[in-house]
Amino acid sequence: MADTDEAAAHLPASQDSAPQIETDLSDETQDFRFLNNLAFPSDSSQTSLPRRGEKDFEPNPTNYQADILDASRHAMHNALSHPRLHHPKHRVIAYYAPDGPAPPPAIDVTEEKDEKETATNDNNEHNLTKERSPETGTGISVPEDSCVYVPNPKGQYFKSMGRADRWNRVWLLPEEALYLIERGSLDIRWPVSVTGPTAEEGEEDLGIPMSLQAAYACFTGRGGLSVERFSVYTGLRRLGYTVIRAPGWDDESDEVQDEDSAPQQGLGIFGRFLHWLHNWNKSTGITTTGPVVGLGLHRSYNDIYRKLAIIPYHDPVTRQSPRRKTTPPFRVVFHVYKPSTVFRKSAPPTPDFRIAVVNSRTQTTMPTQAQLGALLESTPLDPPRGEKMDRMMYMRLRHGYRNVILAVVDQGVVSFLRIGDAAFGKEKVYAEKPPGPKKGGFRPRPKK
């Protein structure tokens, strides 16, 4: 068994696209020569992605190899030495609001401080009375955890980030602000309330710029943003995904999904039928000591298999009567959208992926059935449908009826695992027709 399967790794992909993602290019050292093909500064006409070269596995004494190495090194240095500038036209200035969302200060600089204080007091009172109200008395309809505002937003990032208030300022959540400052796309200023009036010359009301270190210090740990969550967020953002907070971000709230009950009805009947079948089996008494298939004549193998099915299994389609609460690390905290998905800030569509973030140093063990079950139940039903799925049983099983992605973060290294609620019990393999004799193409080798 082992020997032939080991060979399988080198065979062409068997039937459908089996897990072939395992050669992760990002794990390898790059051949930087492809950078030469990239036009600096970026030329929009050239859109084809660079191709990777082949790899030499050991040094040999040819000049040729040395030249390649040199060229690659040169390309890397060349790319690194290219000046990276921020155009003043694209500069976006934001202000840090340590006390959370607040209405704009008065225009007069001298009055700003008092104004701000009253405003934040007001806000705080509101927080106490009504925790998660989106519309406060001050007219700010932004998330509570926002702490940076951009008075003059421009650029593509604000299409999928931040939330505008009544005064047309865009409020950013800490992870959004941190991501933008990491990218160099945002210039965050300390508020005057923190630094005190800085303007000796008094020419402008721009505060002191916030350093990257200060940004990390201010924003991580704020509003439930752990380092783990941030590294997942920023990693996916950099890859082009749109990432927003899910309702399960805070510990108190839990994502609740309404599911259509139409298919459950039918399957409920089916389940009851199965149950009845079990009972009927039991009543005949053959399961006590066996044989489970019963004595006497068997008319078909399918009957035998049906009689053998005595072990109950979890059906992800039927609703669990008391919905279990998810336990903190195993809870959807991010909704992720593919770059191709059309995303609107005001009305986010159903997410492409749901991600739970786990710190592998505090949660050292993988989830138990109860934890994973609750997590999966908090996601909507996503049954394997479609032409391809109908055809391929393996694909259906791999897809599952619900799915969620676990991002396991171990000291900054993120590994993603897709969990699918498979329900093998719903796929009767014995009822599948054996494939007909194949004509041409790849034939599996004989194997024992």
Partner 1 sequence: MASHPTSTPSPAPEVAEAASKNKPTQDNVCPAPVRRPRPQRPNYRHIHRFPLPLAVHPLPPLIPHNPLSIISVVLSYLTYLISPPHQELYSAYFDSNTSSVHITDDKTIRALWEMGFFGKGSLSRSEPSWLEREKKRRGQFGGKTSEDVTRERRTERRELKLERARMEKLVIEQRLQAEAAANENGNASPDLEADSTSNGTATTAEKFSLRKAREARMLGSQQSEEQNSVADPGNASSGRKVSTPGKTVRFSPVVQEKQFISDSTVLQLPESLVDGHKADEESLLKNEEHLQLSNEEALFLAYGLGALQVYDSDRKTTIPTSSLLTLFRQHSYFPPRSPAANLDPDDPFLVSYAVYHHYRSLGWIVRSGVKFGVEYLLYNRGPVFSHAEFALVVIPSYDHPYWSETEERRTHAEEKQARSWWWLHCVNRVQAQVRKSLVICYVEVPPPGDAQALENDIGALLCRYKVRDVTIKRWVPNRSRD
Q: Of 278-317, which residues contact partner 1 (CB under 8 A)?
A: 278, 281-282, 286-293, 295-301, 304-305, 308-314
Residues 15-44 that bind partner 1 (CB under 8 A): 18-19, 21-22, 24-26
d(CA 261, CA 269): 13
Residue from 366, 385, 386, 411 touching partner 1 (CB under 8 A): that is: 366
Task: Find all residues with CB under 8 Å of 289, minimum gap 6, and list them.
Answer: none
Q: Which segments of 88-184 are extended strands (E)?
A: 93-96, 148-150, 163-164, 170-172
Instruction: Kindly state the smallest distance separating residue 39's Cβ from partner 1, in Å.
Output: 23
Nearer to partner 1, 190 or 337 (CB): 337
Cα separations in angstroms, 8 against 21, 95, 118, 392, 441: 15, 58, 70, 20, 16
Which listed range, 73-81, 121-129, 247-255, 274-282, lies at the site for partner 1 (CB under 8 A)? 274-282
φ/ψ (deg, to 5) at 356: -110, 135
Our finding on whether 418 is near partner 1 (CB under 8 A) is yes
Which segment (183-191, 193-201, 206-214, 238-246) binds partner 1 by CB under 8 A?
Answer: 238-246
Instruction: Answer whether 185's CB lies under 8 Å from 92's CB.
Output: yes
Nearer to partner 1, 87 or 445 (CB): 445
SS3 (DSSP) at 149: strand
Farthest-apart Cα atoms in the chain, separation: 103
Closest CB to partner 1 among residues 206, 397:
397
Which residues in 318-357 contact partner 1 (CB under 8 A)?
Answer: 338-340, 353
Q: Which of residues 377-406 bind partner 1 (CB under 8 A)?
A: 394, 397-398, 400, 405
Which residue from 41, 412, 434, 441 is in contact with partner 1, where contact means CB under 8 A?
434
Binding flag, residue 71, partner 1 (CB under 8 A): no
Instruction: Pick the closer one to partner 1 by CB: 34 or 416.
Output: 416
Of 82, 24, 96, 14, residue with least CA distance to 414: 24
Beta strands across the sheet bearing 148-150: 163-164, 170-172, 148-150, 93-96, 187-189
Q: Considering beta carbons, is residue 312 or 349 the nearer one to partner 1? A: 312
The end-to-end CA distance of the chain, in Å, is: 6
Residue 67 has φ and ψ, to the nearest 5°, of: -65, -45
Q: Which is nearer to partner 1, 79 or 414 (CB)?
A: 414
Of 245 and 307, CB closest to partner 1: 307
Minimum CB–partner distance for residue 92 and partner 1 (Å): 26
The footprint of partner 1 on residues 133-192 (CB under 8 A) is none
Enter the DSSP assignment of 31. Answer: -
